[in-house]
């Protein structure tokens, strides 16, 4: 494996909980895919899981290059999915996929009630 990019991000869960309460479905649909929304909303504490996915999207953008947002990448171009085993995985769509040029994204997520963190390695 020859890494070509790395990104890390930390999100305060209460901050994301506030965004969800203030902007609700509009924020969810602008930032997360339908699959991410379905998964997070089914969890006992959705905000914690949304925060981890938000951190993963930020970390992936950093791994791919900090100018992505200006190059047409949108939040939903970076998706966190779960394998059957529960292992998280990043799936790139649209402009993010084109920018990655076939590279794979490895992701690790962790969260508590207060903080969510993600690390992404592009290889």
Residue 104's pLDDT is 87
92 neighbors 98 (Cβ within 8 angstroms):
no
Q: pLDDT category, 66, cuts 50, 70, 90? A: low
**pLDDT at residue 35 greater than cutoff 90:** yes
Residue in this structure with the two tokens 């509009």, named with its chain if needed: 26
Q: pLDDT category, 113, cuts 50, 70, 90? A: very high
Q: Max alpha carbon distance in the chain (Å)?
A: 42
Query: What are the phi and psi torsion angles at 3 (to 5°)?
Result: -60, 140
77 neighbors 94 (Cβ within 8 angstroms):
yes
**Catalytic residue (choose from 28, 49, 57, 111):** 111
Three-class DSSP category at 73? coil
Residue 102's pLDDT is 80
Domains by residue range for the chain, with CATH? 5-122 (3.90.470.20)
Calculate the average pLDDT of the chain: 93
Range with the lowest mean pLDDT among 14-23, 42-51, 71-80? 71-80
The pTM of the full predicted model, rounded to 2 decimals, is: 0.94
**Catalytic residue (choose from 57, 62, 87, 99):** 62
62: annotated active-site residue: yes
Residue 33's pLDDT is 98
Mean pLDDT throughout 29-50? 97
93: annotated active-site residue: no
**pLDDT at residue 83 greater than cutoff 70:** yes
């Amino acid at each position: 494996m020859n890494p070509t990019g790395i990104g890390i991000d930390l999100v305060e869960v209460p901050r994301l909980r506030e965004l969800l309460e203030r902007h609700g479905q509009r924020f969810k649909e602008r930032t997360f895919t339908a699959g991410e929304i379905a998964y997070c909303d089914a969890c006992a504490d959705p905000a914690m899981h949304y925060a981890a996915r938000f951190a993963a999207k930020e970390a992936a953008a950093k791994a791919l290059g900090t100018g992505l947002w200006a190059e047409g990448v949108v939040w939903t171009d970076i998706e966190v999915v779960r394998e059957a085993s529960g292992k998280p995985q990043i799936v790139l769509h649209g402009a993010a996929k084109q920018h990655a040029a076939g590279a794979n994204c490895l992701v690790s997520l962790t969260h508590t009630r207060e903080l969510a963190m993600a690390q992404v390695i592009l290889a």
